Amino acid sequence: MATNDNKFQAIIAHAKEYGFVFQSSEIYDGLSAVYDYGPWGSELKKNIRDYWWKSMTQLHENIVGVDAAIFMHPTTWKASGHVDNFSDPMIDNKDSKKRYRVDHLIEAHADTLPKEEGEALLDAMTQLEAAGDFAGLKKLIDDNKIKCIVSGTSNWTDIRQFNLMFKTEFGAVASTSEEDNIVYLRPETAQGIFVNFLNVQKTARMKIPFGIAQTGKAFRNEIVARQFIFRMREFEQMEMQFFVRPGTEGEWYQYWKEDRLKWHLSLGIPQDKFRYHDHVKLAHYAKEACDIEFEFPIGFKEVEGIHSRSDYDLSQHQLYSKKKLQYYDNDIDPATGKPFGNYVPYVIETSIGLDRMFLLILSNAYEEETLTKEDGSTDSRTVLRIPPKIAPVKLAVLPLVKKDGLPEIARNIMNDCRDEFYCFYEEKDAIGKRYRRMDAIGTPFCITVDHQTKEDGTVTIRYRDTMKQERLPADKVKELVKDRIR
RNA sequence: GCGGAAGUAGCUCAGUUGGCAGAGCAUCAGUUUCCCAAACUGAAGGCCGCGGGUUCGAGCCCCGUUUUCCGCUCCA
């Protein structure tokens, strides 16, 4: 475990040193649990996103995309349950360090009292809650001598609001009734899909079963921040909501559970680094749920969730918006011989954290390799074995020396290739050093232009993973790289 | 949120009893160099985390604060 911790620290240091991930606002001592992506990090992140997007939309005829706004009508979050379920006052016991929801704490105490006293206590709590009177609630806890079940003491902190969602004000001019103006930064992207369900279904003429994909930022006001980009206040999700006929959700859940793991394996990540974690405790709307977990240096952790969400979300929006969110199914039900007719579709969700996927790729790619040289001495190199198709830089073009016309030839090759994939040109320092620098950012291919190039038009191609070299005609380079990054 | 440890150049670190701010690597400019972190010359790079105190004098001692790391807690 100690070595794995070291590996995690090494990956974080490497990510910073080579321009993948920086702490946000670092010159102001940072902002907790917020990170920025640097030159190679933003390229890698974009490539992961593009690969996911393409495999979802372009390669599935029955999945289309949307790009919904981060701001949504506040009622969205009442319908989804985020406002009521995740904005409760919290209190900590100073002795046991145990944190409670205030209402749970008081309700538990009320259960131990005679019926009338208990109800009186709950009435008092409800009134104070409605008034937002935290001091009053604290006094209620003190007056009733409510104790922590762990420590058995009444040594409580002040009551604080637990805010899952970031709040901000909508409109340039402050309103007199501030509640009217509150909007939230979305805590998940899924709701942008649900509220657009009919828009997408009608305009793209989709027939069930079909899916809607979306990538985008989401925001959660969590309490503490650790574990680098694994858990962030601002993060990016890649979600797909798949709408199915009620009764078929079980088979589609199974389908997506398997299909999503195949996607991960298609990037060449070893299967034994993954496992499913089936949820035993389900959310009230869920029928089935599982996580795909990856073995990070900090242990097996969730990367992606597959959830069978029933018709909960669409039904909730139907209820709150008073708009029908139903689908007319023309297919014939073999049981009745008539069309299936109108219904609220069931939903299978696949939801993957882009930042976690980024960390997965980095964790799997990072290696400190010990090499034995020809003379028997040992050397080390740090290499990122990023799958070529998502590597930030695909090809480095290197003149062996920066004279004798070699840079000009290299520039021509570079210009020929840069339209097709990301290329990097460098003529500084010895060739070995340049190879190692490319290893450190995960560039899968380097070609070197030397004096022989001037005679027969061939260059050396050097492979990142094996460090092997071979010669090939310069005009074959583009096709070779294109083939390897498919 | 609680407890512990640490913040000196981009990175890794040294800094004597409290007395001129240092090294290696990396960076940049050159010279040299025909295939795996080569050599040489030169340059640049610092509010010693921040604020206060003690002192003739603080990177070093004292207090506070902040950030990071480790452990616990939390994580719909």
CA of A71 to C1' of B42 (A): 56
Torsion of CA A97, A102, A104, A108, to 10 degrees: 80
Nearest nucleotide (CA of A231 to C1'): B75
CA of A290 to C1' of B45 (A): 52
* A340 shares its domain with A407: no
CA of A261 to C1' of B24 (A): 46
CA of A16 to C1' of B58 (A): 33
* A319 shares its domain with A451: no
pLDDT at A1: 38
Nearest nucleotide (CA of A98 to C1'): B73
* A269 shares its domain with A336: yes
* A289 shares its domain with A201: yes
Asked, for residue A321, whether it belongs to a domain, the answer is: yes
Q: Which of A341, A361, A381 is the last residue of a domain?
A: A361
State the pTM of this model.
Answer: 0.88
Asked, for residue A266, whether it belongs to a domain, the answer is: yes
CATH number for the domain including A426? 3.40.50.800
Q: Which of A321, A346, A361 is the last residue of a domain?
A: A361
Asked, for residue A337, whether it belongs to a domain, the answer is: yes
Nearest nucleotide (CA of A427 to C1'): B33
* A211 shares its domain with A334: yes
pLDDT at A404: 86
What are the backbone angles phi and psi of residue A257, rounded to the nearest 5°?
Answer: -55, -45
Asked, for residue A371, whether it belongs to a domain, the answer is: no
* A411 shares its domain with A342: no
* Tens place of pLDDT per residue across chain A (486 aa): 345 667 888 888 888 888 898 888 777 777 778 888 989 999 999 999 999 999 999 999 999 999 999 999 999 998 988 887 666 677 776 666 566 777 777 877 877 788 888 888 888 877 777 766 777 777 887 778 787 766 666 767 777 666 678 888 887 666 566 566 788 999 999 999 999 999 999 999 999 999 999 999 998 876 566 788 888 888 999 999 999 999 999 999 999 999 999 999 999 999 999 999 988 777 767 789 999 999 988 888 889 999 999 999 999 999 999 999 999 999 999 999 999 999 999 999 999 999 999 999 999 999 888 877 766 667 778 899 999 999 999 999 999 988 888 999 999 999 999 999 999 999 888 898 899 999 999 999 999 999 999 999 999 999 999 999 999 999 999 999 999 998
Asked, for residue A124, whether it belongs to a domain, the answer is: no
pLDDT at A417: 95
Asked, for residue A194, whether it belongs to a domain, the answer is: yes
CA of A136 to C1' of B74 (A): 25
Domain that holds residue A239: 40-70+184-361
CA of A72 to C1' of B60 (A): 56
CA of A331 to C1' of B37 (A): 66
Question: Other CB atoms closer than 10 Å to residue A124's CB: what's the count?
Answer: 18
* A336 shares its domain with A447: no
* A442 shares its domain with A331: no
Report which residue is nearest nucleotide B11 when distances run from CA to C1'.
A17
pLDDT at A167: 82
* A192 shares its domain with A301: yes
What's the structural domain count of chain A?
Answer: 2
What are the residues whose beta carbons fall under 8 Å from the beta carbon of A183, sequence distance 6 or more? A71, A72, A74, A167, A168, A169, A170
Nearest nucleotide (CA of A404 to C1'): B34
| Signed CA dihedral, A200, A201, A205, A206: sign only | positive
Instruction: Give nucleotides in strand B with any atom < 7 A to a protein C-beta.
Output: 1-2, 7, 10-12, 26-29, 33-38, 66-76
CA of A23 to C1' of B64 (A): 26
* A423 shares its domain with A321: no
Question: Other CB atoms closer than 10 Å to residue A251's CB: what's the count?
Answer: 10
Contacts 24+ apart (CB under 8 A), A107-115: A108/A149, A109/A144, A109/A146
Report which residue is nearest nucleotide B50 when distances run from CA to C1'.
A29
Nearest nucleotide (CA of A92 to C1'): B1
Q: Which of A338, A361, A384 is the last residue of a domain?
A: A361
Write out the two tokens for A215: 């990538």
Asked, for residue A315, whether it belongs to a domain, the answer is: yes
Rounded Cα gap, residues A332 and A344, in angstroms: 17
pLDDT at A122: 81
pLDDT at A126: 78
Rounded Cα gap, residues A7 and A9, in angstroms: 5
Report which residue is nearest nucleotide B29 when distances run from CA to C1'.
A428
Report which residue is nearest nucleotide B39 when distances run from CA to C1'.
A430
Rounded Cα gap, residues A257 and A261, in angstroms: 7
Report which residue is nearest nucleotide B37 when distances run from CA to C1'.
A433
* A274 shares its domain with A322: yes
CA of A117 to C1' of B19 (A): 74
Give DSSP secondary structure letters for A343-396. EPPEEEEEEEEHHHHHHHHHHHHEEEEEEE-TTS-EEEEEEE---GGG-S--EE
CATH number for the domain including A273? 3.30.930.10
* A309 shares its domain with A437: no
pLDDT at A2: 41
Write out the two tokens for A306: 């597959």
CA of A121 to C1' of B61 (A): 56
Asked, for residue A340, whether it belongs to a domain, the answer is: yes
